[in-house]
Structure 1
């Protein structure tokens, strides 16, 4: 999980409860963000795995995370939370080996090379191993000229920056050697698709009085 969010005290405490549950269910906790929203806080949990994340997977993780938050309700001070569970978007940076592996076959833009001589290249991820990432890099040619075959470039992890997946329309299928034949994020879930389903059922505040905006008692 991103160290940036672990520096937030609320996210750090929640991560200590949530990450073991997510891991036990077979997923990676990619991000945990706690955002104030009026008298409530939104707990956004981003999970992923090699097989991708479906709607049923989100429901499964949501129930597991909700249960662990309920068990620790006393330590939360009964502060009202709204839980959001989702998969990573295609625009998330590729920073970990597992991110690159899960995007084998995709076109990416990334800064590569040693410090002081780095350059930005665009290429298709063809292989990921312990040594680094292999990219099929297309060299720009003259307008109207016949396109040259991509040049393989093996980039060690130490010389690989954060990659960004490029959105392609009608992109080719993944190579036969790729880990998956289909895009694991084709079923990617957006927050607005989830709000009317699992998420609002996971609020930890069971006291209906807290939802009464006219209550001078205020709540938290």
Structure 2
């Protein structure tokens, strides 16, 4: 499946560059009996539905004109915003999230927990520091970045 992602990334990047849009993430997944190619895009100030439709239309035309077809099976193309809980994948995502409330899923538990939510306080190439609450107390935890399975912005309730 990574070859599909690589091929589609090469196709969509010029479309995004032309409009100063950012490719946030992409996935090619099977859900039930159907395949989905999901492309998540953004820009400074947020992306709107017309911009998603524009990218979808141009990408769809490019995909349809390829021979051989990079995705031989039937699939649904979805182009959308990453939403309020945007994933943190690239270094620039983490840098932009400094001071923001985030959710982390870890490969190995720390203090018996594999999931944390809190404010991203500091960032180094090897670690990040999270300020989080346990009931009424505020704690700080430094986590090795290689232990982070998934990271995303989170909505604080």
Please tell me the TM-score bracket, short chain as reference. Answer: 0.5 to 0.7
Partner of 2:101: 107
Q: CA deviation at 1:20?
A: 0.9
Show the counterpart of 2:13. Answer: 23
Count of residues in correspondence between the two structures: 149
> Does the alignment pair 1:46 with 2:36?
no
The equivalent of 1:88 in structure 2 is 82
CA 1:127 to 1:60, structure 2 compared with 1: closer, same or farther past 3 Å? farther
Structure 1 residues 45, 53: CA separation in 2 closer, same or farther (over 3 Å shift)? Answer: farther
Higher Rg of the two aligned structures:
1
One of 144, 160, 173 as aligned partner of 2:148: 160
Tell me the C-alpha RMSD between the 2 structures: 4.0
* 8 Å contact from structure 1 (residues 123, 138) kept in 2: yes
Shift of 1:136: 1.9
Distance 2:65 2:94 in 1: 35
Further displaced range: 56-65 or 95-104: 95-104
TM-score by length of 2: 0.61
Higher relative contact order (CA 8 A, sep 6+): 1
**Structure 1 gap segments, 5+ residues each:** 7-11, 142-147, 170-220
Distance 1:82 1:37, change over 3 A: farther
Cα distance change, pair 23–156 in 1 and its aligned pair in 2 (3 A)? farther
Find the residue that maps to 2:94 and give its secondary structure.
Answer: helix
Q: Could you say which structure has the higher strand fraction?
A: 2
Query: What does residue range 57-136 of structure 1 map to in structure 2 within 5 Å?
Result: 57-72=51-66, 75=69, 82-90=76-84, 94=88, 97-110=91-104, 117=110, 119-120=112-113, 121-136=116-131
> Could you tell me whether the CA contact under 8 Å between 1:29 and 1:45 is conserved in 2?
no
Q: Which TM-score applies when normalising by structure 1?
A: 0.48
Q: 1:65: Cα distance to partner? A: 0.9
Secondary structure of the structure 1 residue equivalent to 2:150: coil
